[in-house]
Amino acid sequence: MKSFDLLVIGGGVNGTGIARDAAMRGLSTCLVEKKDFAAGSSGANSGMIHGGARYLLFDAKVTRLSCLDSGYIQRIAPHLLFRIPFLIPVLPSGHELFDQAYLYGVECYFEEYDRYQPLKNGKPHTRLSDQELHELEPGVVQGTVGAVSMDEYGIDPFRLCTLNARSAAEHGADVRTHTQVTRLQRQDDIDSDSHYQYWRVGLEGPSGSEEARARVVFNAAGPWAPKIAALGGAELKIRPGKGVHVTLDRRLSNYGIVCRAIDGRDVFVMPHEDSCIIGTTDDDFYGDPDELSVSQDEVEYLLQAVERTFPSVRQARILRAWAGVRPTLWQYGPLEDRLSRDHKIYDHGGGFFSIVGGKLASFRAMAEEAVDTVSRALSKGGRCETHKTPLPGGEAPAPAAEELSRQHDVPAFAAARIAYRHGAEAPRVLALADERPELRALCCPCEGVTFAELEFARTREFAAGLLDLRRRCRLAMGVCQGARCIGPAAALLEDLSQARELLDERWKGQRPVLAGDGLAQAELLQSTYFGVGALQNEGTAPWR
Amino acid sequence: MAVEVLVIGGGMAGTAAALAARSAGASVLLVSRGPGATALSSGAADVAAAGDAPLLEAARTVARRPGHPYALLADLDGALREGLLLLRALGYAGPGERNLWLLSPLGCPKPAALAQPFIAAGDLRALSRDARPAVVALAGAQAIEARLQQAGLRRLFPQAPERPLAADFYTQRTDALRGVPEMAADLDARRERLADALRRAVRNSGATHLLLPTMGLEPEPIDAGVPVFELLGAPPSVPGLRLQRQLVKALQATGVELRLGEITPADVPEAGAMVLATGRFIGGGIRSGATLTETVFALPAYAGERRSLPALPGEELFAVKAAGRHAGFAAGLRIGPDLRALDAHGRPAFFKAAPLFAAGAVVGGYDQSRDEGGLGAAAILGAAAGHNAAAAVLGARRASA
């Protein structure tokens, strides 16, 4: 039986962040995740490290923390962040004086936000006339009152979690994915070896069930946190909020554009890598976070909101719709949008803690606070270094894509994606292709994924199957939604067993939005896997 | 002078219709927008793939699924025979009375009525259980996909080699970027080099049969010391390109006039009868908007009983699981017993007094990706529609004479 100072439950951004911080401070750490890194809320958000301008009025503390931590995340993972300039057009209401005052109000608001921008290397806002706005983005509806700009950053949240987990493992943490916590029991009699009280943690993983011991258990299970708390005999309340996003097949704009939904809420359309994301809804969620689905109403609400400011969204091809659950702090009364995005650490006693709430952009600060708590409880552990020690690939600037492409004979497009996803580690990924030339080939032409990158994820990044590979390097996340790449990727693993599951996972997102040209793509996917591919006959020999 | 039969669509169904109408003595014009699903086809031709006897199984399909267009054919047996005959004329081989079992690109057994000759030769059921077939790995993604295919072979033939057979046809690092269609062109140009590479690879490997990812656009037998077969193609597939070329040749040889380009109701050439063979979504024959609609003449299309759709019809048309049965992928026109397309009132449709027939995937009621007939169904329905269209105009010609 293994013994740890700290056992962290949850492989999202909080769990991986805590595990990294703790391992770097010298605590013996185990990270347990029932599926894969970022398989829950951390992989189903807008993919932004944003300062939370929205919370400035009623939660300025959250804005400050988000901006401050954004700056640190930029420092430790510079390759993973991409700047997204936002435009906030003001549409005429019919009362000119009011409109001018409103635009002035928006500008004042972002002038206040400008105070925080230097923390995250953001540019101050600009006020734009209608003409200037259309010079920047002709797709915005004509006849606006004007617009205000602001700066935010996007990130690949899957990689952020993976890199935290990898760094934790490199600092000695025991990282277990696809491992479920089955039992959480406090052992009050003193451990004869260590003379400490401890938790007995039942684990069910790929290699069967076992038990681990930990002096402190940290519950960072996001929407599943109440369940984990209950397992340890504690009560934890959150107010889960469901957020729906829609992905479009291309970058409609190089700017993020803030639009107003029918109920007055702010909704945005923004570029994310090679696609565009529209988000988001915010509704109380009472269901099982393992069984999320998107309704057509939710998609229509988002499209309607964007259409008013950016009409051509109706001609765009929608790739998919997806949902996540925010583990928001419990509060009875406020509307969803007014709920605090602050985080909180709960001490359930006896070395059992939970962390809920917070934002992707402040994960590192939250992890620091969490490990400070653990460190106090154990009277052990050094100083936090996560604000200055780079994540893997962040140690130096990423090599230029053209150079990578030339040196390793891979397509320039793929080299650029590898440079983005792996930063300074890109040459390590491509070294695999130097040894085994076939790994140079593209597996997923939509997202520029070479087999080398898949092999790297498989051997160095805890990717256990096709579903994990998707999260490591955007396999099957592009315009064809896996029509091309799922078979070849399964071939690299020599394992078709997750092909159906990945097809179903992709299909689940496509189904609510499938129409128009998407039907031809889906028909081609069907014939690839169920027509010529005959996946339904796997393992049979019907003629014998 | 107006043509007697106008065929819209140059895939398998359109070509079958054009050839049938031409052989019945009608003058035929075929208008094609460009390659569609036929050009992406795998090299196999399904009639109704489930089970073991395609002709019988097709009859069972009819009994099982009344919405299937086979159910409407007055002489199903005759149509099946004619469709198969056409495929054979195009080089598709196989016993016809029972299915071939072919190795799919995913390494799974795939049934087919007929297949292109070097593919059909690789019928898995014809190999003894102790055979040692091996997939040939040439380069890049193909060499990786070969592992999955070899794993599939190993499940069927326990003594097959564990790994695909690496052949040193390619030598440059950058060759790893060659896709299978590019490999086909390379093989056409350097056939002897390939044969040498295969002979070297087979020696001491124990392999008794070789499966090649492609045998080129112009395949010829390869002497590698053991039998060499070709694998089915996933899109973009070489056998599909090959078939599309053959279709054009067949049309030209029989004197069908060919025209490339889009067609709208405003510029539909005058004709005595018309055959719509524009495909489903890949071909562009059916579109979803507020309703499901055929794209040239705006005829009504249906998915099961549904026609009007919400803006986002997904949940109405598609099953929850990817592998489920999807009404949406069997969407299309409704047709009458003579393969006449039906209008919004359920009556046979005309365009400027010309009766409209329909064939192939533009006709609803079957899903090519399931066991309901793919390329074979297109050939069968196409030939029948071509016959009926020719009969309509030739009957009128005789009457006026």
List the CATH number of the domain containing A225: 3.50.50.60
Q: Verify whether the Cβ–Cβ distance B313 to A537 is below 8 Å.
A: no
Q: Are residues A372 and A496 in the same domain?
A: no
DSSP H helices, A130-183, are 130-136, 157-170
Could you tell me if A2 lies within 8 Å of chain B, comparing CB atoms? no
- For the entire predicted model, the pTM comes to 0.95
Residues A142 and A223 in one domain: no
B177 vs B181: CA distance, rounded Å: 11
Helix or strand run (H / E) with residue A276: strand A275-279
The arithmetic mean of pLDDT across residues A100-127, rounded, is 95
Q: Do A488 and B173 touch (CB under 8 A)?
A: no
Measure A514 CA to nearest chain B CA, in Å: 5
Q: Is residue A218 part of a domain?
A: yes
SS3 B384: helix
Q: Is A345 on the interface with B (CB under 8 A)?
A: no
Same domain, A504 and A408: yes
Which residue of A519, A528, A537 is the best one to mutate when testing the B interface, meaning the one whose CB has the most B CBs within 10 A?
A: A519
Q: Concatenate the DSSP letters of all residues of A295-330 into one string.
A: -HHHHHHHHHHHHHH-GGGGGSPEEEEEEEEEEEEP
- Residues A217-222, mean pLDDT to the nearest whole number: 98
pLDDT at A499: 96
Domain shared by A229 and A86, yes or no: no
- A34 touching B, CB under 8 A? no
Asked if A458 has any chain B CB less than 8 Å from its own CB, the reply is no
Closest-approach residue (CA) in chain B for A513: B312
- pLDDT confidence tier of residue B315, bands split at 50, 70 and 90: confident
The number of domains in chain A is 3
B401 at the A interface (CB within 8 A)?
A: no
Is there a contact between A533 and B109 if contact means CB atoms under 8 Å apart?
Answer: no
Contact in structure between B372 and B4 (CB atoms under 8 Å): no
**pLDDT above 90 for B64:** no
**From the CA of B368, how many Å to the nearest CA of chain A?**
7
- Shared-domain flag, residues A24 and A92: no
Query: Given this model, what pLDDT does residue B1 score?
Result: 57
pLDDT at A195: 61
Asked whether the beta carbons of residue A507 and residue B37 sit closer than 8 angstroms, the reply is no
Token pair, residue A428, equals 């390590």
Report whether the peptide linkage leading into residue A392 is cis, meaning its omega lies within 30 degrees of zero. no
Q: Look at A519 and B328 and tell me if their CB atoms are within 8 Å.
A: yes
Residue type at A466 in one-letter notation:
L
The 10s digit of each residue's pLDDT in A266-320 is 999 999 999 999 999 999 999 999 999 999 899 999 999 999 999 999 999 999 9
CB atoms A523 and B329 under 8 Å: yes
The answer to whether residues A50 and A71 touch, using CB atoms and an 8 Å cutoff, is: no
Does A450 fall in a domain?
Answer: yes
Q: Does A540 touch chain B (CB under 8 A)?
A: yes
**Mean local confidence (pLDDT), A181-205:** 84
Name the band, by pLDDT with cuts 50, 70 and 90, for residue B65.
Answer: confident
Torsion angle defined by CA atoms of residues B216, B217, B221 and B227, in that order, rounded to the nearest 10 degrees: 50
In a domain, A254, yes or no: yes
Q: Answer whether residue A67 is part of any domain.
A: no
Interface test with A, best of B98, B104, B306 (most A CBs within 10 A): B104
Mean pLDDT score, A85-104: 96
Query: Quick check: A250 pLDDT over 60?
Result: yes
- Per the CB < 8 Å rule, is A438 touching B284? no
pLDDT at residue B50 above 70?
no
Mean pLDDT score, A115-134 = 95
Mean pLDDT of B353-366: 95
Residue A393 placed within a domain? no
Q: Which residue of B has its CA nearest to A531?
A: B369
Query: pLDDT per residue over A431-476, tens digit each?
Result: 999 999 999 999 999 999 999 999 999 999 999 999 999 999 999 9
Percent of chain B residues past pLDDT 90, beyond the cut: 77
Q: Residue B67 has what pLDDT?
A: 84
In this predicted structure, the answer to whether residue B185 has a pLDDT above a threshold of 70 is: yes
Chain A residues 417-456 with CB within 8 Å of chain B: 433, 437-443, 451
Give the H or E element holding residue A378.
Answer: helix A363-378
CA of B231: which chain A residue's CA is closest? Answer: A532
Percent of chain B at pLDDT above 70? Answer: 95
Same domain, A171 and A146: no
Closest alpha carbon within chain A to B371: A531
Inform me whether the C-beta atom of residue B95 falls under 8 Å from chain A C-beta atoms: no
* pLDDT band with cut points at 50, 70 and 90 for residue A51: confident
Which residue among A268, A300, A328 closes a domain?
Answer: A328
On whether residue A50 sits in a domain, the answer given is: no
First-last CA distance in chain A: 48
Buried b vs exposed e over A21-60: b needs ≥16 C-beta within 10 Å? bbbbbebbbbbbbbbbbbbbbbbbbbbbbbbbbbbbeebe
Beta bridge partners of B156: none
A203 and A148 in one domain?
no
Residue type, B217: L
Same domain for A123 and A245, yes or no, is yes
Q: How confident is the model at residue A59 (pLDDT cuts 50, 70, 90)?
A: confident
Clarify whether residues A257 and A247 are in a common domain: yes
Q: Give percent above pLDDT 70 in chain A.
A: 99
Distance CA B366, CA B331 (A): 8
Cβ separation A527–B37 shorter than 8 A? yes
CATH of the domain at A104: 3.30.9.10
Residue A75 lies in a domain: no
Are A252 and A210 contained in the same domain? no
* A230 and A363 together in one domain: yes
Q: Please check whether residues A259 and A363 belong to one and the same domain.
A: no
Give the 3-state secondary structure of residue B166.
Answer: strand
Residue ranges of E strands in A91-179: 127-128, 146-155, 174-176
Domain that holds residue A140: 82-155+239-328
Which chain B residue has the Cα nearest residue A512? Answer: B314
